[in-house]
Structures are given as structure tokens and as C-alpha cells.
Chains A and B, each alone.
Chain A
Amino acid sequence: GENVEQHPSTLSVQEGDSAVIKCTYSDSASNYFPWYKQELGKRPQLIIDIRSNVGEKKDQRIAVTLNKTAKHFSLHITETQPEDSAVYFCAATNNNDMRFGAGTRLTVKP
């Protein structure tokens, strides 16, 4: 089955800097890669996703890149703000079950 690894587990950046979170997956059949943001005490919420037929996707300050050959995908947040502080999860699915990374706790210091 699919196995997703996520790094780093914690990340601290200064406000205005960029943050990068990386994930690798094992199943070459995986075709959908969402990223979720979870604030303290809240449910995970989708922030961006990418499908296997696309290499990069951007939405304002957030971008995701996918390297199918290397089986890894990354989340990039530019011009970070304190409200970006949260736990971020990557995930991969090969059509039926969705596997999540262990999460990255991002702290943006004002």
C-alpha cells in the first residue's frame, strides 16, 4: 500500500520568509496529492491540491510542486504571516484509500 513520509516535523520561520514542506510517496499509481492545514482544535482543511498530470500549481502565496519520477511533492508558502502557523499535512491517494504524512508544525514568528 501507499506510504507517505513528510519532513520536517517542525518548522519555525520569521514572518515574511518562505516555508517549504516536503513529502515522498511510495505508490507510483497515486494520482492525487492534497495539502491540508489544521489549526489548533479545528478540522483539517484543504489549502491546495495537485493531480499527477500537472507539475506545479499556485494559488496566491501557496504553491505545490510534484515530481512523479522521484515520487515527491512539496508545499511552498511565500511571505509567511503569523496566521499561517498551523499543522500541515500532505496526502496521497491511489484511488481508494488516502494516506497522510505525519504532519509539519509550522510556526511563523512575528
Chain B
Amino acid sequence: EAQVTQNPRYLITVTGKKLTVTCSQNMNHEYMSWYRQDPGLGLRQIYYSMNVEVTDKGDVPEGYKVSRKEKRNFPLILESPSPNQTSLYFCASSQMGERKGGETQYFGPGTRLLVL
């Protein structure tokens, strides 16, 4: 089954404790992206990647890191989480084709993070 998976689905942590949220897709998509969703603000892009070893900042990259060592995986790293990073996080992937980012994005199930 074609899908995007994220782990963990729920996470409670404390300020300053490094954490990683994994994202994996089995559709051989070149493009992967991370979003955070906050009430009234919609989905805001954190980082995106157009291929292996190629990553770029989105709208709200501060406090986050990503890596793209393999095509299928795109982990999101919070080196020193703070309470303002409490949010719902979604990973997404899409094909690239000729239109680069202009393709349908498929979302993972989401990770709800609470930073105390």
C-alpha cells in the first residue's frame, strides 16, 4: 500500500531534550516536506527536500533540522525543543516531474508534539 508514515504519532517531552520525528514514504517520491499545523494558522512549511542531500528552508525553519540521506526517509530533528514548538506535525511527499513542487502532496498521519 502506497503511504507516508510518521513516528511517533504522539510525543510529550520537556524543554531542551533532543528529539527526532521520522518520516518514510514508499512511493519513490523525490519531494518531501515537513509542516506544522497550529489553530488559525493553517499548515506552515518547515523544510522541504527535492531529492537526496538537497534540503531547503520553508516558512518557519527556526529551531528545526532535517536530513535527506535516503530517498524514502526525511526525519525532522528538534535539537532543543521549546514550548512554542508544541504543535501537530505533518510530513508529506510528492513526485517531482517537470513541475518540481507543483504536484499532489500525500500527507502522513501526523505527530502531535507537546513540549513542557
Contact = CB atoms under 8 A, between A and B. Distances in A.
Among A34, A43, A94, A95: residue with most chain B CB under 10 A:
A43
B10 to A, nearest CB: 12
Contacts, number: 65
Contact of B43 (A44, A46, A93): A44
A46 B104 contact: yes
Interface in A23-70: 31-32, 34, 42-46, 49, 51
A13 interface: no
B56 A96 contact: yes
Contacts of B100: 95-96
Interface in B1-39: 33, 35
A6 B43 CA distance: 12
A98 B101 contact: yes
Interface string A85-104: 00001010111111111110
Interface string B69-94: 00000000000000000000010000
Given A34-B105, A95-B102, A101 B42 contact: yes
B101 A44 contact: no
B90 A34 contact: no
Contact of B33 (A9, A44, A46, A98): A98
A97 B58 contact: yes
Interface of B: 33, 35, 40-45, 48, 50, 56, 58-59, 90, 99-110
21 contacts: A1-B59, A6-B42, A31-B99, A32-B102, A32-B103, A34-B105, A43-B108, A43-B110, A44-B107, A46-B105, A46-B106, A51-B102, A91-B43, A96-B50, A97-B58, A98-B45, A98-B101, A100-B42, A100-B44, A101-B42, A102-B40
Going nearest first, the 6 A-B pairs with the smallest beta carbon separation are A32-B102, A100-B43, A43-B107, A102-B42, A95-B100, A100-B42
